[in-house]
Structure 1
Amino acid sequence: MYLPPEDEEGRLSSLESFAILDTPQEPVFDRIVQLAQASMRMPIAAISLVDRHRQWFKAQRGLGVTETPRDISFCTHAIRGRDPLLVSDARENPVFRTSPLVTGETGIRFYAGAPLRSSEGYTLGTLCVADTRPRRMTARQVGLLTGFASLVVHELELRRHAARDPLTGALAKAGFMVLGGREFHRAVRYRRALSCLMLDIDHFKQVNDRHGHAAGDRVLAAVADAVADALRPADTLGRVGGEEFAVLLPETGTRGAVRVAERLRRQVGRLKVPAGEAAIAVTVSIGVATCGTADADFPGLLECADAALYDAKRGGRDRVVANGAQPEAAEEACGNPEAACELTGPKRLVP
């Protein structure tokens, strides 16, 4: 058994923002692990990222697997502290002596894990080394391990920065698609709800034509800020087109997604973006789609949300359209007699 860190949801949200889980092996991370293993003469070394129910290895040497359950891992205990976790002999340690990683074929006796701390202060996982015999680390070796962990974090932060749209701070399309694909497969695997929103700024071309591209950029940034402020930590905002954004809503069915979409529509509708002596009023059209058994992949879910978005635009804009919801469900979800919430027919199978 283990106790998660105090702000576990915030930590998981931070980990998600890197869009690194379940990505292919990469030479830069493999090289760091190789250097850590060689410099400390350990048979096992890994970059371990601790997800909700598992630890996943971005790179590893000596383990032969890509992930293990979180509840048997050493790293889930290491992420609770700021300093490296050192276990001289796991068989003599009451926390670890019954772990299958100790009693099974892997046979770990020694473990050292340096936390990988993000710029927000969340620990994503560890850079760890292990041995099949008891041993102790010198202060120099601990310093080396911590230094290698800093290199891992630096590389992760660079990737995350590059994956974000510099104007709006939203996740760039490539990163959003990677994260969306992962959430989609998790929703299907564990039969959990997952919804997606597609947002388009209404008449955005007219903003650029009348006020200039600098004003258009201010509108994009203001809309992104307004949307991000209204989302939960677990939700993800991505910029997937010029004036198009997408929102990923884990653990959210159609009713909840329509509520969120209406909240975002109203929040954006309050904006007045300065443009010289004028103030630009902004509205958005939003399409809602919920993951169902008929969907093959995340792009299919996004396509359904996009189809609902175009229904919203054809219907007069500044409104929410949900594909596949039942009329009474969306009417209840809107909860506002003035809300411009519409439904198209059951084009999709909704759980």
Structure 2
Amino acid sequence: MSSLNSTNPSHPPTFLLLGIPGLEKEQFWIAFPFCIMYAIAVLGNIILLIVIKTESSLHEPMYLFLAMLAFTDLVLSTSMLPKTLAIFWWGSREIGFVSCLVQLFFVHTFTAVESGVLMAMALDRYFAICHPLRHSSILSMPVVAALGSLVLLRGVLMVSPGCFLLERKAFCQHRVISHSYCEHMAVVKLVCEDTRVNAAYGIFVAFAVIGADLTVIAVSYAMILWVVLKLSSSDTQLKAFNTCVSHICVILAFYVSGLFTFLTHRFGHSIPQHIHILVADIYILLPPAVNPIIYGVRTKQLRDKIVVLFQRKGI
């Protein structure tokens, strides 16, 4: 071990990403549904951003947070999928050390940002239903902008130390990452030194970000449920619930696969590796693909504006 450390005291210039170990022959075909999901994510989220930007009637907290979600989804999926498709279709497995850290930073930062935006959207639904008369004054444009900035800043500040910790570690000669992108714990496994601080910090970030956001979301919806159930009219109750359905679907798409990925990475050692990596890939790709579809179908005001946009373009 000492000779190994002496010959390779720092990080290697490049890593090799395996893709999905155990499914090397199937990767070529797996890339096609991944590519379709990415195309849907890019097209759908760009349409949302264009419609929300051009329609002044949509310059409300709900749609501004949706625009933040769409931008986050674009960055998140783009930071991961192009390299993954290069691995699956062309066998382009090599990635530079700095490029790997940059990809790791963007994937984990914007995963944290997406969680924060979903939390902010839950607060918006809470104020809209529980305090409708004060909704516009509480969530004014400056407050919405401040919330978005804080969510982004939190993601950057939380993820950056993990990247700096990795940059200062010595890596072994084994430079193969058993994953289709530079995921934090997959890279940590290549370090020759003690990695307990890295692992502990990763768990801390997960609980500090996801745990805090899920708590706010749960409390917000508990209060919403309490208020809605006290409404006398069943039609009013149904209308209030309908305003939350899209957001609840998006929350489930994001957190269920995310929690599965986080837990299996640390505790699910009996789960086959290719299952874990497939779920981790879907965790990055599924929410960006389904979010614009859910909101485009479920939100009448947004759906009508999208139809008008296509009619203007003659589509």
Higher relative contact order (CA 8 A, sep 6+): 2
Normalising by structure 2, we get a TM-score of: 0.29
Q: Which has the higher strand share?
A: 1
Q: Which has the higher helix share?
A: 2
Normalising by structure 1, we get a TM-score of: 0.27
Based on CA coordinates, which of the two structures has the bigger radius of gyration? 1
